[in-house]
Structure 1
Amino acid sequence: GNAKHVERKKLAPGERPQGRLMEVTCKDSEVIVGTTTGYDPKRPGFFLFPIDPSANNARVFVVTSAVRTARFL
């Protein structure tokens, strides 16, 4: 990956993603903004699709126990 790449944290004007937009802050302080259709804090994890098309990941499985905060935007 590109160490100098800064992931975007906001939707582009007119962009209409599938799922609900949310921001997840992990216990290691990493912040990921993306969309999900399956977030339930009682489950072991959920898939998050980062909103930055240039990000290193097309989708991320987020382990619920590794989350410090999760909020819908």
Structure 2
Amino acid sequence: MAINLGMDKPFRPDKDVDFITSVTILSIFNLVIYVINQVVGIIIWILIALSIIGFLFKKVKKAKKGVIRISQRDDFA
């Protein structure tokens, strides 16, 4: 089943302009939603990356403290 958008008929300003404007408004609305989705997605990925980096830094700090404790024990022994 082919979708007919009235392309085979001559251009009628009284009816076709409404169709064109409604399609343009819908496409602009769609584009805005797409851009918002992309921005939110990028922000979420940045937050995930920052949380992973923060978690790794906490692990590194704890590991450094552990190393210092071990070296202090060796000094006391």
Normalising by the smaller structure, the TM-score range is: under 0.3
Higher strand content, 1 or 2: 1
| Higher share in helix | 2
- With normalisation by structure 1, the TM-score equals 0.19
